């Protein structure tokens, strides 16, 4: 925009100069003398350099150049004798046009420097303001989110609400001698709504709310993070009572010392400043720091001690009742068919976070749009759940007849072993339609959400996971690569049974932790001897062999039922739990969805791709 005035000035000047030049014509000295002698010239203006210009009696103007080298006075006598009005210009005069044209380059250079300065200020925040806090302040205009907009988590909301109540009514706590918390740390898996809960606090509280991400403290300049922390707490104290919310605090709150940040690291200086400011609150300064993280194990212990983050609020994955309430909130703005049962949908989504459920409803809406509908059907939710758990249905992934038969045998083995075992979850659906990397899927539905898993449930689960491979051996005479994912998941479950949960008489009731070598650090040493590792390997192999023998025995003894399930799968391609129970003469049980097998995996480039599946691997 600043270039526009200069452009307009230049245009006007050029137009004026061009118009002035176009109205006059240039003549030589001889023609000029002839015009004077014939009384055609009315006026003449002569410059020091010998230039002459003027007007003609008949109208128009002219310009010419006098031959000053002749050094003669005859021209002046000629002009006076023919009544020509003669004027002369003073030396050194400069026109306004000349001045403006000479200033244009300077003005252009100044404008370029101004533009560069503004760009630098936008990108770097200005050299003078680089250490200022970048927190967004919610004061008069607060977020519209309220606690009523968050389903479930009543205990977590009650703890956080106490902080809001303390800031609103500090005198009530002072009468009882209670001191409000200085810091509240919200911990939970990704997608459980920690940031959403903080937005609700900002909406409910009648106090200023400073919100920012921990990564905004970290810069390439040394000392910038510490300066921003100081500025943030100064602003918060000035507007006390107030709340500071730091999202993903693990970005600056990681452990210090060996294996962590260096002594001169910028992030360590920022953490030290944060610890100092949280400890340095003046008495009576009602400022509460809230933070969120999904990795509390890496936080520095000095950050978690009383007096700093002295209250931890656990925000776990929602249970079935809470999932139904979350689905209801996300479905408010959508038209649902009367057949849609959100309770049934919630039972089919164990382990889903709030973000997963929001994505599920959105995927169902997208499927309805593809079908040119505005009303969401129950099938939309089922397809959306399968899309998220297993992958997109790939109609172009056609199987050869032998492969389709092998997939049917594999999935029939999983389903039949699950039905014939006493302590497994009932089967919900079996399909041999390829989805994502999986060529077939067997879903089981737990009768209730489990928190503890007995040993007989886990051993039956091992048999179910190896049921597909056992069916291939019984019916086809040999296994295939389709059991790769089943073997990996079964081995992982058996390893945890031996190493973590003490389900091995040989190893004994000893827990060696959730990992042998640290999975985040493959060079870390195991916390046990090589002989112990050998015993663990032997017990894992024993559990897997016993599970395969049991699955093979069940399928061999019920070969007729296995053949019937395989035939039905080849005809129908998808059968649900009620049809399977009717086929086998077994009553159907009420249950909740949980995916236990997705396989066999599709072969790509002569290798087995892992199939997408989730399974009840234990607490």
Positions marked catalytic: 411
Question: Do residues 583 and 419 lie in contact, with contact meaning Cβ atoms separated by under 8 Å?
Answer: no
**Omega before 70 within 30 of 0, i.e. cis:** no
Report the C-alpha gap between 470 and 490 in whole angstroms: 13
Q: Are strands 335-336 and 375-376 parallel, antiparallel or unpaired?
A: parallel
Tokens of 564: 């019937």
Report the C-alpha gap between 73 and 35 in whole angstroms: 18
Site of tokens 């900002």: 202
Can you tell me whether residue 418 is helix, strand or coil? helix
Report the C-alpha gap between 54 and 63 in whole angstroms: 7
Q: Which of 436, 386, 429 is nearest to 591 (CA)?
A: 429
Write out the H or E segment, with its range, that includes residue 375: strand 375-376
Report the C-alpha gap between 243 and 307 in whole angstroms: 16
Tally of helices (H runs) and strands (E runs) in the chain: 21, 19
Question: Do residues 209 and 199 lie in contact, with contact meaning Cβ atoms separated by under 8 Å?
Answer: no
Report the C-alpha gap between 603 and 619 in whole angstroms: 32
Give 19-87 as a DSSP string: HHHHHEEE--HHHHHHHHHTT-B-EEEE-TTSEEEEEBTTS-EEEEE--GGG--SHHHHHHHHTT-EEE
Q: In Å, how far from its chain's centre is CA 14? A: 55
Residues forming beta bridges with residue 10, ordered by sequence position: none
Indicate the Cα dihedral angle 198, 200, 201, 206, nearest 10°. 140
Gap between the terminal Cα atoms of the chain: 64
User: 446-464 as b/e, with b when 16 or more CB fall inside 10 Å?
Assistant: beeebeebeeebbbbbbbb
Helix axes 224-238, 266-279, angle to 10 degrees: 20
User: 161-186 as b/e, with b when 16 or more CB fall inside 10 Å?
Assistant: bebbebbeebeeeeeeeeebbbbbbb
Sequence-separated (6 or more) residues with CB below 8 Å from residue 66: 29, 46, 50, 51, 52, 75
Report the C-alpha gap between 578 and 493 in whole angstroms: 29
Residues forming beta bridges with residue 443, ordered by sequence position: 429, 595
Give 252-302 as a DSSP string: T-BPBSTTSB-TT-HHHHHHHHHHHHHH-PPTT--EEEEEEES-GGGB-HH
């Amino acid at each position: 925009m600043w270039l526009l005035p200069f452009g307009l000035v230049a245009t006007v000047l050029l137009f004026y100069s061009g118009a002035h030049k176009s109205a006059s014509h240039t003549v030589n000295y001889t023609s000029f003398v002839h015009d004077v002698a014939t009384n055609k010239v009315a006026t003449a203006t002569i410059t020091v350099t010998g230039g002459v210009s003027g007007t003609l009696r008949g109208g128009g103007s002219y310009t010419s150049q006098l031959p000053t080298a002749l050094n003669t006075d005859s021209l002046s006598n000629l002009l006076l004798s023919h009544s020509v009005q003669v004027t002369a210009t003073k030396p050194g005069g400069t026109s306004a046009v000349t001045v403006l044209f000479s200033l244009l380059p300077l003005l252009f250079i100044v404008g370029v420097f101004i533009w560069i300065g503004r760009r630098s200020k936008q990108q770097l925040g200005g050299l003078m303001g680089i250490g200022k806090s970048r927190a967004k302040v919610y004061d008069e205009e607060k977020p519209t989110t309220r606690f009523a907009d968050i389903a479930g988590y009543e205990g977590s909301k009650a703890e956080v609400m106490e902080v809001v109540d303390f800031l609103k009514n500090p005198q009530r706590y002072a009468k009882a001698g209670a001191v409000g918390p200085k810091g509240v740390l919200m911990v939970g898996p990704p997608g459980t709504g920690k940031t959403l809960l903080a937005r609700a606090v900002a909406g409910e509280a009648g106090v200023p709310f400073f919100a920012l991400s921990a990564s905004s403290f970290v810069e390439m300049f040394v000392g910038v993070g510490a300066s921003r922390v100081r500025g943030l707490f100064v602003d918060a104290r000035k507007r006390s009572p107030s709340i500071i919310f730091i999202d993903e605090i693990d970005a600056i709150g990681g452990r210090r010392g060996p294996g962590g940040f260096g002594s001169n690291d910028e992030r360590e200086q920022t953490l030290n400043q944060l610890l100092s400011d949280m400890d340095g609150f003046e008495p009576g300064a009602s400022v509460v720091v809230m933070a969120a993280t999904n990795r509390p194990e890496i936080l520095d212990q000095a950050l978690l001690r009383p007096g700093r983050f002295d209250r931890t609020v656990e925000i776990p994955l929602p249970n079935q009742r809470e999932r139904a309430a979350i689905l209801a909130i996300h479905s408010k703005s959508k038209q649902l068919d009367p057949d849609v049962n959100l309770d049934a949908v919630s039972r089919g989504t164990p382990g889903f976070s709030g973000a997963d459920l929001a994505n599920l409803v959105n995927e169902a809406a997208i499927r309805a749009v593809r079908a040119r509908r505005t009303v969401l059907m129950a099938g939309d939710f089922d397809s959306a759940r399968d899309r998220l758990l297993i992958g997109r249905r790939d109609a172009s992934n056609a199987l050869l007849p032998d492969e389709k038969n092998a997939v049917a045998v594999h999935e029939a083995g999983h389903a039949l072993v699950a039905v014939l075992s006493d302590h497994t979850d009932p089967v919900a659906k079996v399909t041999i339609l390829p989805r994502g990397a999986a060529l077939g899927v067997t879903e089981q539905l737990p009768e209730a959400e489990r928190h503890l898993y007995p040993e007989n449930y886990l051993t039956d689960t091992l048999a179910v996971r190896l049921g597909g491979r056992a069916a291939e051996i019984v019916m086809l005479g040999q296994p295939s690569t389709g059991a790769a994912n089943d073997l990996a998941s079964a081995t992982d479950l058996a390893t945890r049974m031996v190493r973590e949960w003490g389900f091995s008489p040989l190893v004994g009731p000893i827990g060696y932790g959730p990992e042998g070598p640290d999975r985040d650090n493959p060079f870390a040493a195991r916390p046990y001897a090589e002989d112990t590792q050998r015993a663990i390997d032997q017990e894992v192999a024993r559990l897997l062999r016993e599970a395969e023998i049991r699955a093979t025995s069940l399928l061999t003894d019920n070969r007729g039922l296995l053949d019937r399930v395989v035939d039905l799968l080849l005809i129908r391609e998808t059968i649900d739990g009620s049809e399977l129970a009717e086929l086998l003469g077994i009553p159907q049980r009420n249950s909740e969805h949980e995916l236990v097998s997705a396989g066999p995996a599709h072969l790509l480039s002569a290798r087995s791709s892992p199939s997408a599946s989730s399974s009840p691997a234990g607490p």
